[in-house]
Structure 1
Amino acid sequence: MTTETGNVQWVITGASQGFGCALATEVLDRGGEVLAVVRDTEALADLAAIHGARLHVVTADLRDQHDVAGVGEAIAATFGVPDVLVNNAGRAIVGSAEEVTMAGLREQLELNFFACAALTRLVIPGMRQRGSGTIVQLSSQGGRISFPGVGAYSASKFALEGWSEALAAELDPFGVRVMIVEPSRFRTGFNTAHSLALTPELEAYADVVGPVRADLAGADGIQEGDPARAAAIIADLVASEELPLRLPLGAEAVERISRSHRDGLAHVERLAGLARSADYPGSAPSRRAV
């Protein structure tokens, strides 16, 4: 399925490579207009030469709150209220909880969560008042499951997913939609030094974190996911009437997330009797607003 994008106006962060670049290319090829947020403008020189005035480029380091505010000003000046915001910019740091410094953990959250939240909050009022708009949050299968060495990265994506799930419910009455994208391994620049940082190693964690470190650092160029195919899927869904809250992308994401749900349900059922015994005896079931 290919759905025309037409004159739809998209804001895409992290557009110099990977999903961001693939999505910018897809939208422009469909006739849409893109404001691309990048750190390296040269990466989009070819796209600019092809699409001219329909591609707007702004440079920013989204870990810097001043730069985030500047992106908000650029969005307002270029589109007023965009049709679609894609929060794609992100990096990962690999290391155990003891190996990742507090500064590193804060930096991970600053880019992968707080910058996304800040940009989202900048476009919400206009979308809400207009009664339409789509916000796409690039999470990861690591936003649903975690494993040794990726705790800092998963913390940022778990935060993004929880915040965005609430956001979707808050904005639904106003016609504004939210989609959380959960990719597995895709052939982007994620597994290069540009986007993947490795902490100094402690010998104590060599056996448990070492294999993860080696796997992630050695995956570039052999990932099974195709960013162009993913971009087409995302663009099609944004153009459709039915937008899922969550979109797993890639066979591995489907398998791992499905297994996590099955294992989690089995765990809750196994402990259900013990868990229920913590309530006051004879108390009425809880009543909730949602």
Structure 2
Amino acid sequence: MSTQSSVWFITGAGRGMGIDIAQAALAAGHSVVATGRDASRVLAAIGEHENLLTVSLDITDPAAAEAATAAAVERFGRIDVLVNNAGNFYAGYFENISDAQLRAQMETNFFGPLNVTRAVLPVMRRQRSGQVITVTSMAGLIGQEFCAAYAASKFALEGWMESLRFDLEPFGIKTMAVEPGFFRTELLVEGSSTIWPELEIEDYAERTATTIEAWKAMNGQQGGDPKKLAQALVILSDSGDLPLRFIAGADGMASEEQKLATIQSQIDAHRELSASLTYDA
């Protein structure tokens, strides 16, 4: 385990899991650049600390990402661990989600992390070291009902992260996608991280109403403890040996094991047909 202090740069650190990640990193002796849309709210949420810098950052703004990166380097001289944590949840059936909502979902959950990572990578390349940790979701590997926009954004993140590692390995930069199951965060808090569909279509009306009530009832009942997840991320980062994916939570592991089994059964069911698609000799 590494005992050297690192500089962490965390997005979405003003609420939910971002607060826990920042506090866990600080408790482990690291320095933290904690970002959110309002730096004062981030500071109030995390608490004063001599090794903490809070910076206002809208991750959908590339110029803001560049400015936040510059502020981090000015204060601490380097960035060792980038945690792409900020995100939100546009819930609903595909036809009920407006085009504007779907694009907004991708801007925040997909292009936002790209903006921040693009700003930070030149710093890590100069150092020839660093870690890019991106919080995706169980929904990044498993499509779920009422999650068309959200799953699309998280699937995109998964593909980007899986390919990014090849770009960065020669520079000593490691990557890890974090796939949480259901954790007791603010993700399902209406008006905070969850946005319901704008469009009304009669065919979906009853299912939409029922599903919204089910999602609301789930808030505060999720089994995962975000503080424990934050501590796990610090442990993995400090080990210096990041897995390409960290499946977080018992429910996440069970669901993804079932997905793997389903894919294998689909391969087996049509193995001969699939293998027959090569050119004849």
TM-score band w.r.t. shorter chain = over 0.9
Alignment TM-score, normalising by the size of structure 2 = 0.92
Q: Kindly indicate whether the alpha-carbon contact (under 8 Å) linking 1:4 and 1:30 is maintained by their aligned counterparts in 2.
A: no
Q: Which runs of 5+ in 1 are unaligned?
A: 283-290
Counterpart code for 2:88: R
Matched, 1:255 2:254: yes
Q: What's the CA shift string for 1:197-217, capped at 9, x where partnerless?
A: 111443312455554433322
Partners of 2:204 and 2:167 in 1: CA distance: 42
Task: Return the alpha-carbon distance in structure 2 between the equivalents of residues 76 and 101 of structure 1.
Answer: 39
Moved more, 107-116 or 268-277: 268-277
Q: Distance in 1 between matches of 2:19 and 2:84?
A: 12
Shift of 1:278: 2.4
Matched, 1:103 2:94: no
Q: After superposition, give the CA deviation of every residue in 1:152-187 in whole Å (9 maximum; x if it has no partner).
A: 111111111101111112212321110100001111
SS at match of 1:218: helix
Match of 1:68 in 2: 65
Q: How big is the shift at 1:251?
A: 0.9
- 3-state SS in 2 of match to 1:247: strand
Answering whether residue 25 of structure 2 is matched by residue 27 of structure 1, we say: yes
Residue 238 (structure 1) aligns with: 237
Q: Is the CA contact 1:93–1:108 (under 8 Å) kept in the aligned structure 2? A: yes
Q: What are the ranges of 5 or more consecutive residues in structure 2 without an aligned counterpart?
A: none
* Distance in structure 2 (CA, Å) of the matches to 1:54 and 1:109: 33
Percent of residue pairs identical: 36
Aligned 8 A contact 2:42 2:54 in 1? no
Aligned equivalents of 1:260 and 1:209: distance in 2? Answer: 25
Pairing 1:10-89 to 2, within 5 Å after superposition: 10-40=8-38, 41-45=40-44, 47-49=46-48, 51=49, 53-89=50-86
Task: Give the Cα separation in 2 of the matches to 1:170 and 1:260.
Answer: 28
Structure 2 counterpart of 1:271: 270
Q: Give yes or no for contact 2:88–2:187 (8 Å, CA) kept in 1.
A: yes
SS at match of 1:135: strand
Give the whole-Å Cα distance in 1 for the aligned partners of 2:86 and 2:73: 20
1:164/1:208 Cα in 2 relative to 1: closer, same or farther (>3 Å)?
Answer: same
Q: Aligned residue for 1:286?
A: none
Deviation at 1:22, TM superposition (A): 0.3
Partner of 1:151: 148
Match of 1:179 among 176, 179, 185: 176
Match among 158, 161, 165 for residue 164 of structure 1: 161
User: Equivalent residue of 2:108, what SS?
Assistant: helix
Alignment-derived partner of residue 112 in structure 1 = 109
CA deviation vs aligned residue, 1:61-120 (integer Å, no higher than 9, x gap): 222333333323323333343010000000010111111111111111111111111211
Whole-angstrom distance in 2 between the partners of 1:115 and 1:276? 40
SS at match of 2:95: coil
Maintained 8 Å contact 1:178/1:245: yes
Q: How does 1:171-210 map to 2 (within 5 A)?
A: 171-193=168-190, 194-200=192-198, 201-206=200-205, 208-210=207-209
The one-letter code of the counterpart of 1:57 is T
8 Å CA contact 1:5–1:27 kept in 2: the answer is no
Partners of 1:19 and 1:89 in 2: CA distance? 9
- TM-score with structure 1 setting the length: 0.89
Asked whether the equivalents of residues 139 and 182 of structure 1 are also in contact (C-alpha less than 8 Å), the reply is: yes
